[in-house]
Amino acid sequence: MKLYENAIAPNCRRVRVFLAEKGIDVPGVEIDIIGGQNISGDYLEVNPNGQLPGLELDDGRHLSESAAICRYFEELHPQPPLLGTTPFEKAAVQMWERRADFEGMLGVADNFRNRFPPFENRGIAGTSNVPQIPELVERGRQSVQRFYGHLDKRLGESPYLVGDSLTLADIDAMCVIDFALFSELEIPQSHSKLRAWYDGMESRESARSNPGLTAALGSISKVLGG
């Protein structure tokens, strides 16, 4: 089995942190996103849309989409359960995963991709050839701020997003926030529950299985020499 990934990309981080929480080791193949290795050549056999992560099974079959890859490993290695145990928990994990994707990850991606010069004509991840749309920068920021508000409210009710123990929902939200901080979308000071939870998540051993963009590179301004 091989996991095609990028050492600091947020959706790859989701899978690596998930695997680390389960104690599963899968060999990785590093793919250079900035250099465009994901959108040309052999990687398109793994995932035709050129997005990472991508999983290759020993029999040659492939899976992409971070949530689907995590689901596969949950089925193979049910302990510890990270996708919920009761019908309600399983549905609630999926609810928070979808919020993390649509409100969080896409919001940061809009904010970041539409102003990062190396992604000119790469406005959508993967094989897109879509020009940057500057208006999406602000829309992305607003979406992330709304996501932060939902997280802070929920974490005032519960230690983790779904009940008393960690699930993929928490891992997803942590990876969104790390990407958002890289894109200089700070968590408001008033969101004290969210800030404390995030510090706890980032201090877990699993968080270092893929360092994340902020620890690796600082911020978009730093990368651009600002």
Ligand X SMILES: N[C@@H](CCC(=O)N[C@@H](CS)C(=O)NCC(=O)O)C(=O)O
Q: Which residues bind ligand X (CB under 6 A)?
A: 9-12, 33, 38-39, 50-52, 65-67, 122, 125-126
Q: Between residues 66 and 111, which has the closer beta carbon with respect to ligand X? A: 66
CB closer to ligand X out of 67 and 155: 67
Least separation in angstroms between CB 129 and ligand X? 11
**CA of residue 5 relative to chain centroid, distance:** 12
Q: Which is nearer to ligand X, 103 or 152 (CB)?
A: 103
Smallest distance, ligand X to C-beta of residue 168, A: 11
Q: Which residue has the tokens 């009940």?
A: 163
Q: How far is 24 from 88, CA to CA, in rounded Å?
A: 26
Angle between helix 87-99 and helix 168-182 axes, rounded to 10 deg? 10
| Of 38 and 167, CB closest to ligand X | 38
**Least distance from ligand X to the Cβ atom of residue 46, Å:** 11
Angle, helices 168-182/106-113, rounded to nearest 10 degrees? 20
Helical residues (DSSP H) of 30-134, grouped into ranges: 43-46, 66-76, 87-99, 106-113
